[in-house]
Chains A and B, each alone.
Chain A
Amino acid sequence: GAVVSQHPSWVICKSGTSVKIECRSLDFQATTMFWYRQFPKQSLMLMATSNEGSKATYEQGVEKDKFLINHASLTLSTLTVTSAHPEDSSFYICSASLTTLVYLEQEQFFGPGTRLTVL
């Protein structure tokens, strides 16, 4: 159980276009989802916390208008990279926590990631 999917798994786009990445919890309801970005040889960088039915909470330094997050249902969160540029090329990973668990055991289940390349 606790499977998270992401789509697409990779995308190549031209500079200036927008790209939407979907994150779905397949067998559980995810009140909270998280979006990370990871550059080569670096650790995960949390971009934002996505809460169903409310605005996302962005980490310091992450541009809200550039990285649009929508969490319209308990099983789907989307990240839209608007006007993408080559420096946005990265590995984007979503995760969801199983909040029905005792909070001390609320691990995050990660999606397989989306590799974005902006030309």
Chain B
Amino acid sequence: QKEVEQNSGPLSVPEGAIASLNCTYSDRGSQSFFWYRQYSGKSPELIMFIYSNGDKEDGRFTAQLNKASQYVSLLIRDSQPSDSATYLCAVNAGIYNQGGKLIFGQGTELSVKP
């Protein structure tokens, strides 16, 4: 069983719609969760992180965390073609966080159609 799972997609949404990206994790000891965006041929860049249950908003992005269900999601409102990328969910490696080690999911490819 994979430790961090994401739907590989591709997820296709029309411009202006809400894109919903989902991630589940297996280690209940995980405490912080990160969403990265990776454009083709580039390295990942952080969108946001969350470690408290509930929602966290930053501009058009909202991260949602439900530790009881071991589920974290990312919503992108008013999706733009420039949001087309692969979105990586990452989970910290454990309680002692091994120097910042993260475990990454396989990524969800998002395509926003004009």
Contacts and interface: CB of A to CB of B under 8 A. Distances in A.
Contact of B107 (A43, A98, A103, A111): A43
A29 to B, nearest CB: 13
A43 B106 contact: yes
Given A49-B99, A97-B99, A99-B100, A112 B43 contact: yes
Contact of A43 (B31, B88, B99): B88
A97 B90 CA distance: 14
Scoring B32, B49, B99 by chain A CB atoms within 10 A of each residue's CB, the highest score goes to B99
Interface in B72-103: 88, 90, 92, 97-103
Interface string B24-60: 0000000110100000011111100101000000000
Interface residues of B, number: 25
Given A99-B100, A106-B92, A112-B43, A42 B106 contact: yes
A25 to B, nearest CB: 12
24 contacts: A31-B99, A32-B99, A43-B104, A43-B106, A44-B44, A46-B103, A49-B98, A49-B99, A49-B101, A99-B99, A103-B92, A104-B31, A105-B32, A106-B32, A106-B92, A106-B100, A107-B34, A108-B34, A108-B100, A109-B46, A110-B43, A112-B42, A113-B42, A113-B43
> 9 closest Cβ contacts across the A-B interface?
A97-B100, A32-B99, A106-B100, A110-B43, A43-B106, A104-B32, A113-B43, A104-B51, A103-B97
